[in-house]
Structure 1
């Protein structure tokens, strides 16, 4: 079914009804691709906590040569919980230097660890990190991270500061970052602490907070590194201006590995999107008096987003350009102001849902979702206490005690769309998902290009649930599922999927992962932007996504600043 047809067929709740949108609407790949960085994204919720608790981050050691070789060590007081970061800088080498995971040469290696930054663990990390897959993280290490300098910006900024002046702002912001993330590894990888061991009272207890804190520290490292190298060239070197620091982000690139993530983490995906849908449905249904200060805040945030989008000249390919989204948001803000004026004259109120429903028919999903997600800022007391729900049990074990009849009913109740999904022509369904032998790098390609014995990593409900349904149709209703699986082990994965997703309506994208015409970047965007919180996500080749992490975020010396609360909207309130 086309995107437009899905929108026509979707059920739209009555005005004021706080009901989440149906999965058939939200889980269409084109709409998924429009879900933006939002108040529930990991960068936002982490920064909320860092600002609220006034985390203190101190550079306790900086040993660097003029070429950039050396060590930076940090201590983080995370609301009374001590963390540390050890980072090892090297002069850039142009050999095996790549943003992909197959690289073996990095400009910065680092680790986020529990506890005080003791010398023993710092030195163990220095020895082990260059080995990467053959290395072993020091005790109580949460994240290993890797980064490279921006070849466009880093040297120019260093040289400008050494000369006692600020760098050219336009050239710096054209790059957008001084360091580019090339790896954030945790949750057991390389011997790092498993996420389940953090516990609910840990300051990084929410999904991907540890990874995003490591990304934030990359940004701080980039500032300290460029300023330190400038001072080694001239003791009177300037420091990077606070306003420029807020505009500089961490660069990031993501590819097909996040599609496999989307396939393999359905309960997490569903809970994140489900919480967003429940929270936005409520926020859009709230009735406000015309003079409510909350609406003043909402109007202000929309204005800042409009300005930010107008200034975003990123040459997107599949996604709409920033000025186009700004124009659509401006129309919605005009509708908001007109309704406030009428409500004020009539002595009545209004809902943001009614404003959104009155949008012009051609308004794109990006503007709609920015409007909806910004509404969450007016209802934080409702959804903030629920953030712990993002920690989910992701085990997907099949239950062999079910009967065939019960499993058959579950297919119709949980994933009915899989059995009649409109597949492409057979000669256009040849996509295979795999990892390269040389580097473990996730890839996707046409079946004719791949050796016959390649293990296909895809979980494709369109095929697998359909095959399971056909298998069940020929089995006695009271037969235990376990007996069926012993005879047909290929049905195990689909069985586990159906049994475990009854309470996860937003788990599965309405896609066929075998389809040659699938656009992978739509699903990559869900994780990068919606879950993690990246901005300016530039798509390339339909399967790569580049973006910025923590643009506009307060640097460590500004944590706790009242102006920092809405940092993501651009500028200062």
Structure 2
């Protein structure tokens, strides 16, 4: 049976993309699989009784070593902030290429805590900082120092002891440029080194809390139970700085979505689904319900999505329990057709992710194709004609061509770069100043403008000659030709309209990272949890690949 890939014109709407969930394709899960047979060590742990000092953790294999260098700092409560404009954090980290010398650590001790103000070298690969979830961190220290384990119900409301506020890489602040390391087999998948940093930071948080508790009450203190550690992750606060990424990297976005859609297509085409594989799917589904019911947020928007997800999951489980599915040919296609007809996007995409769980043989070969050498696709074919470009736009942007940009609500917002932090921000065109400094992120509007000019241009005119008179449209001419080769390269929505929900853009990217429990704090920033349920470093050589569906309450 032939199954088609899902239509980009439907799938690439922000409301749909903002309903994506983590899957076996997510970068933190593929990172763990890639590094499961590397040697893990804690090479240095030099903290004082209050938990301040230095630590080094590493992964090594053959002649390659990656080392996380940690600096835990004492700061005042009023200095602790998750905002990007903060200048002090509870801890700062860098991932070092190789084994750091004492001189390296001394050099970094002066630079890493400064973050953006500091200066790193080509020896450093990623940079990050994090703050304690102070109330929970102190609660755990108090419990352990008194010889008790913390209450998992209290822990589940947050899910982490620390949250990062940024993870940088690829040449920022002096870090190694990507070209230096991009051909290493172990990091061919996107964001592998960023995931390594976050994972090792998670272990540092456990070691630090145990260390402080032991020093607080040496005779009575106990270590945090490994089962509790396993089901704590690392939090993250993410704002608008992440949103333009998926606009600015069209080929990369395509490759992420294309891998997901290819996996779905191949799974739907399986004629005979084994009982073993179907039981893995059902088992993960049932286990995952605890993750959903422990998903806490004060956001009405997100609570409505969670409620919809739970209601739809109940419907879906009833459908599975009807019993008429057993031994049906093309079972997962039958399931997909039913959920598409009966459930909402939040649950449809949840189940799509779940369908991948039994199928390493389908998912794993796709991982190596999720990176992109975008320079190869950014060349504009100047010998093509206006007529060809117009046809591409009519085929790939039909809904965008219907938007009336003469209406204020379709031009409501503009993207700009903050002068203070050089981070992307969003403003109201009719209330705020600065629209003359607008960033080229209004792709829908610019495609429509380009199309209107193409419509009155000579069909046989080459693109090279067209751009001589209309160079201001070079960025969208390039994008239109990219969509010809990469069908999932473009968001099929208006990124400056009054109905824009920027967190849909954030959630799309974070789902591919492997984030859980999206917790919007506004329509422009949210908190998440990463690695909750993941095996500890000393367990990596043998672990359940479906660990993400474990729960604090299980």
Query: Under a length normalisation based on structure 2, what TM-score does the superposition of the two structures give?
Result: 0.93
Among 444, 465, 470, the alignment partner of 1:483 is: 465
User: Kindly tell me: are residues 465 and 438 of structure 1, through their superposed partners in 2, closer, same or farther at Cα, counting changes over 3 Å?
Assistant: same
Match of 1:526 in 2: 508
Match of 2:491 in 1: 509
Say which SS state the counterpart of residue 82 (structure 1) adopts: strand
Say which SS state the counterpart of residue 445 (structure 2) adopts: helix
Match of 1:499 in 2: 481
1:403-422, aligned counterparts within 5 Å? 403-421=385-403
Among 425, 438, 444, the alignment partner of 1:443 is: 425
Say which SS state the counterpart of residue 526 (structure 1) adopts: helix
Contact 2:446/2:473 (8 A) holds in 1: yes
What is the distance in 1 between the residues matched to 2:157 and 2:10? 36
Say which SS state the counterpart of residue 138 (structure 2) adopts: helix
Contact 2:157/2:294 (8 A) holds in 1: no
Among 243, 262, 273, the alignment partner of 1:278 is: 262
| Aligned: 1:45 with 2:30 | yes
CA deviation after TM superposition for structure 1 residue 37, in Å: 0.7
Contact 2:91/2:113 (8 A) holds in 1: no
| Aligned: 1:98 with 2:54 | no
CA deviation after TM superposition for structure 1 residue 537, in Å: 0.2
Say which SS state the counterpart of residue 568 (structure 1) adopts: helix
Say which SS state the counterpart of residue 175 (structure 1) adopts: coil
Among 363, 366, 372, the alignment partner of 1:383 is: 363
Match of 1:209 in 2: 192
1:198-237, aligned counterparts within 5 Å? 198-236=181-219, 237=221
Among 291, 297, 304, the alignment partner of 2:280 is: 297
Contact 2:534/2:547 (8 A) holds in 1: yes
Among 297, 301, 313, the alignment partner of 1:318 is: 301
What is the distance in 2 between the residues matched to 1:414 and 1:343? 39
Among 27, 30, 35, the alignment partner of 2:15 is: 30
CA deviation after TM superposition for structure 1 residue 40, in Å: 0.7
What is the distance in 1 between the residues matched to 2:409 and 2:307? 39
CA deviation after TM superposition for structure 1 residue 211, in Å: 0.9
Among 328, 333, 351, the alignment partner of 1:353 is: 333
Among 471, 478, 486, the alignment partner of 2:453 is: 471
What is the distance in 2 between the residues matched to 1:259 and 1:318? 19
Contact 2:415/2:425 (8 A) holds in 1: yes
Among 239, 244, 249, the alignment partner of 1:260 is: 244
CA deviation after TM superposition for structure 1 residue 501, in Å: 2.2
Q: How many residues align?
A: 549
User: Kindly tell me: are residues 427 and 570 of structure 1, through their superposed partners in 2, closer, same or farther at Cα, counting changes over 3 Å?
Assistant: closer
1:365-380, aligned counterparts within 5 Å? 365-380=345-360
Over aligned residues, Cα RMSD in angstroms?
Answer: 2.3
CA deviation after TM superposition for structure 1 residue 439, in Å: 2.0
CA deviation after TM superposition for structure 1 residue 394, in Å: 2.1
Unpaired runs of at least 5, structure 1:
1-15
1:85-164, aligned counterparts within 5 Å? 85-164=68-147
Match of 1:5 in 2: none
| Aligned: 1:58 with 2:41 | yes
Match of 2:56 in 1: 73
Query: Under a length normalisation based on structure 1, what TM-score does the superposition of the two structures give?
Result: 0.90
User: Kindly tell me: are residues 176 and 79 of structure 1, through their superposed partners in 2, closer, same or farther at Cα, counting changes over 3 Å?
Assistant: farther
CA deviation after TM superposition for structure 1 residue 285, in Å: 2.8
Post-superposition Cα deviations, 1:332-371, rounded to whole Å, max 9, x if no partner, equal 23323434x5645xxx545122123234955222222222
Among 513, 516, 533, the alignment partner of 1:535 is: 516
Contact 1:20/1:278 (8 A) holds in 2: yes
CA deviation after TM superposition for structure 1 residue 88, in Å: 0.3
Say which SS state the counterpart of residue 230 (structure 1) adopts: helix
What is the distance in 2 between the residues matched to 1:81 and 1:314? 41
User: Kindly tell me: are residues 466 and 360 of structure 1, through their superposed partners in 2, closer, same or farther at Cα, counting changes over 3 Å?
Assistant: closer
Match of 1:13 in 2: none
CA deviation after TM superposition for structure 1 residue 170, in Å: 2.2
Say which SS state the counterpart of residue 157 (structure 1) adopts: helix
What is the distance in 1 between the residues matched to 2:404 and 2:452? 17
Contact 1:306/1:330 (8 A) holds in 2: no
Contact 2:51/2:72 (8 A) holds in 1: yes
CA deviation after TM superposition for structure 1 residue 196, in Å: 3.5
Match of 1:12 in 2: none
User: Kindly tell me: are residues 137 and 452 of structure 1, through their superposed partners in 2, closer, same or farther at Cα, counting changes over 3 Å?
Assistant: closer
CA deviation after TM superposition for structure 1 residue 324, in Å: 4.6
What is the distance in 2 between the residues matched to 1:321 and 1:453? 33
What is the distance in 2 between the residues matched to 1:309 and 1:328? 12
What is the distance in 2 between the residues matched to 1:141 and 1:351? 48
CA deviation after TM superposition for structure 1 residue 427, in Å: 5.0
User: Kindly tell me: are residues 28 and 361 of structure 1, through their superposed partners in 2, closer, same or farther at Cα, counting changes over 3 Å?
Assistant: same
| Aligned: 1:363 with 2:363 | no
CA deviation after TM superposition for structure 1 residue 408, in Å: 2.5
